[in-house]
Amino acid sequence: MLEVAENTIVLFHPHVPASAIEEVNQTLRSRWIGQGPKVDQFEHEFSKMFSPSHRSIAVGSGTDALHLAYILANLQPGDEVIAPVFTCTATNIPFLYMGVKVVFADVQEGTMNIDPKHVRELTNERTRAIVCVHYGGLPCDLQELQEVADHYRIPLIEDAAHAVGATYHSRSIGDISDFTIFSFQAIKHITTGDGGMLTVKDESSIEKAKRIRWFGIDRSAKQMGIWENDIQEVGYKYQMTDIAASMGLAALREFSATLSLRKKLFSTYEQQLKNIPGIRFVGGGYKDREHAAWLCTVIVERRADLQKKLREHRVESNQVHYRNDRYSIFGGRRDNLPHMDAIENNYLVLPLHTKMLPEDVERVCSVIRAGW
C-alpha cells in the first residue's frame, strides 16, 4: 500500500458507522453468518427507503447485480445492448460473459452521463436493452431514455452504483425502471465491504432472481425439505452474507446524515469553483433531479498540471473511470463518440467523502484558484 503523507486530503475514504461494529459482532455470535435473516432484513429496509414499489435482491457485489439484471432481462448470445462508453468496466463486462454485443453510446455534454440523443440514433430492432449509468450520482435523462425503451418494448436498466439516495422528478432512483442496481463496495455511500442490490419492478421475477443468486437452487424449498433436488437453470454464487448485511443495516440508519454531508460538500465545491478560468464543474444546477454526490468531477484545461499542483499541496485527484473502448476486451476504440473524444483528457475527480469538512473543500478550491 502507498503511504499517505500527513495532512493529505485523500480522494476516497470508507464510511463505516460505529454502530456497524456491534451489528457485525452480534452476527458473528449468532447462528447465521452466511445468507440468513439479516440479508432478508436488509432487503426489506432498503426497499422501504429507496424502492417501495419494487422488490430488492441483495447480492455479493454491484457486478453480481448487473449480471443478474441482464439475465432477468432475458439477454441472449448475439443480442445487442446500448450501454455507456464511459463507466466502470463492471457495467459492460457481464455482456462478455453472455456473448452479448455492446453498442457504446456517447456521453452527454455537461453531465458525462449517457447521451439520450445518441441512444435514440443507435437503437433499432436488434436492440434488446438500454443500460444507463448515473455518473457521479447525477441521474440520467430517464424520461427520454424510457421513451426510447418503450418504443422498442425493451427494458431500461439503471446502473446506480454511484447514485443511492438520488431522485429524478421526485422519485427515488431504484423505484423507477425495470431494473436498478446499487453497489456497496468499500468507498460507496453505503458499504458492506463489498456487496450490491438489485431492485426489480416485475414481482414475478423475484423467485427466479433468488434461485440464480444461489446456484439455481430453490433455497427456501431446500431448507423446508420440499425441494425436488433438481437444478433447471444455470445459477451463480451471488448471495450476500449476514455479516455484510449487518454493515448495510447500520449504514441505512444514518444514511440521511451521510447523504446530507456529502451534498453539502458537493454544493461547497460548486460554489467555490465558479468563475475560475480553465475549469468547469460537472453535474450541478439541476432542479428536476437530486444529485447523490458520490463524485465531484471537473473538466479542466491542462489536467496533468493541475493534478501535479494538487499533489504538491497534498490533495489527491484522479480520473477513476475511463472510456471502456480503450480496453482490448471490448474490441477497440470507436470513432462515433465525439463528446467522449473531446473530454477524455480533461476530466478530473476531486476528493469527496465523509471524513471531509467544508473547510477541506475550501482548501482544495483555494489551491485551484491560485492557478496551475
Please report whether residue 8 resides in a domain. no
If you ran DSSP here, which 8-state letter would residue 34 be given? S
Q: How many domains does the chain have?
A: 2
**What is the average per-residue pLDDT within 82-108?**
98
**Are 315 and 187 found together in one domain?**
no
Residue type, 215: F
Return d(Cα 249, Cα 39) in angstroms, integer.
Answer: 9
Compute the 3-state secondary structure of the chain and give helix, strand, coil in percent, each to the nearest 5: 40, 20, 45
Average pLDDT over residues 352-363: 98
121 in the same domain as 94: yes
Residue 1 has pLDDT above 60, yes or no: no
139 & 213 share domain:
yes
Name the CA dihedral angle for 76, 77, 82, 87, rounded to a multiple of 10 degrees. 110
Q: For the residues of 144-158, what is the DSSP string, one character each?
A: HHHHHHHHHT--EEE
Q: Is the pLDDT of residue 17 over 80?
A: yes
pLDDT(76) > 70: yes
Alpha helices in the chain (DSSP H): 18-28, 37-50, 62-72, 93-98, 116-122, 142-152, 206-212, 219-223, 242-253, 255-272, 303-312, 338-343, 358-369
Residues 6+ apart with CB under 8 A from 112: 86, 135, 136, 282, 283, 297, 343, 347
Residue 11 domain-assigned (yes or no): no
- Residues making up the chain, counted from first to last: 372
Burial class, 110, CB count within 10 angstroms (exposed 0-12 / middle 13-18 / buried 19+):
middle
> Torsion-angle region of residue 124: left (phi > 0), alpha (psi -120 to 50) or beta?
beta
Nearest to 110 by CA among 310, 231, 285, 230: 285
Do 32 and 38 contact (CB within 8 A), yes or no?
Answer: yes
pLDDT confidence bin for 270, thresholds 50/70/90: very high
Residue 3 confidence class, pLDDT cut points 50, 70, 90: low
Per-residue model confidence as pLDDT tens digits over 324-333 = 999 999 999 9
Question: What cell does 138 get?
Answer: 447525477
Q: What is the pLDDT of residue 227?
A: 74
pLDDT(2) > 70: no
Cell of residue 237, nine digits: 454464487
In tens, the pLDDT along 199-219 reads 999 999 999 999 999 999 988
Rounded CA separation 176/199 (Å): 9
- CATH code for the domain in which residue 300 is found: 3.90.1150.10
Domain boundary among 201, 236, 253: 253
Instruction: Give yes or no: residues 46 and 195 share one domain.
Output: yes
Examine residue 10 and state whether it is found in any structural domain, yes or no.
no
State what percent of residues in the chain have pLDDT above 70. 99
Average pLDDT of span 126-146? 98
Q: Which domain holds residue 312?
A: 255-369
Structural domain contains residue 4? no
13 assigned to some structural domain: no
Q: Who's near 285: CB < 8 A, 6+ residues apart?
A: 270
What CATH number does the domain containing 193 carry? 3.40.640.10
CA distance 109 to 129: 23
Among 223, 238, 253, the domain boundary falls at 253
Do 195 and 113 share a structural domain? yes
The answer to whether residues 168 and 234 belong to one domain is yes
Contact 186, 200 (CB under 8 A): no
The backbone torsions φ and ψ at residue 285, rounded to the nearest 5 degrees and listed phi first, read 85, 10
Q: Per the domain annotation, does 12 fall within a domain? A: no
Looking at the structure, tell me whether residues 249 and 265 fall in a common domain: no
Same domain for 129 and 199, yes or no, is: yes
Q: What cell numbers appear for 96 in the block? A: 462478455
* Same-domain status, 32 and 55: yes
Kindly state whether residue 341 falls inside one of the protein's structural domains. Answer: yes
Q: Is residue 5 part of a domain?
A: no
Q: How far apart are CA 318 and CA 10, in angstroms?
A: 11
- Confidence tier at 43 by pLDDT (50, 70, 90): very high
Among residues 236, 211, 198, the alpha carbon closest in space to that of 62 is found at 198
Residues 60 and 81 in one domain: yes
Q: Are residues 202 and 296 part of one domain?
A: no
Question: Phi-psi region for residue 137, left (φ > 0), alpha (ψ -120 to 50) or beta?
Answer: left
Residue 177 has pLDDT above 60, yes or no: yes
pLDDT over threshold 90, residue 225: no
End-of-domain residue from the set 226, 253, 280: 253
Q: How confident is the model at residue 228 (pLDDT cuts 50, 70, 90)?
A: confident
| 278 CB neighbour count, 10 Å cutoff | 15
pLDDT at site 6: 81
**How far is 331 from 317, CA to CA, in rounded Å?**
29
pTM of the model: 0.96
Q: What are phi and psi of 117, to 5 degrees?
A: -65, -40
My answer on whether 312 and 239 are in the same domain is no
Q: How confident is the model at residue 54 (pLDDT cuts 50, 70, 90)?
A: very high
Higher pLDDT, 228 or 279: 279
What residue has cell string 442496481?
A: 181
SS3 state of residue 189: coil
| Mean pLDDT of the residues in the chain | 96
Query: Which DSSP symbol is given to 104?
Result: E
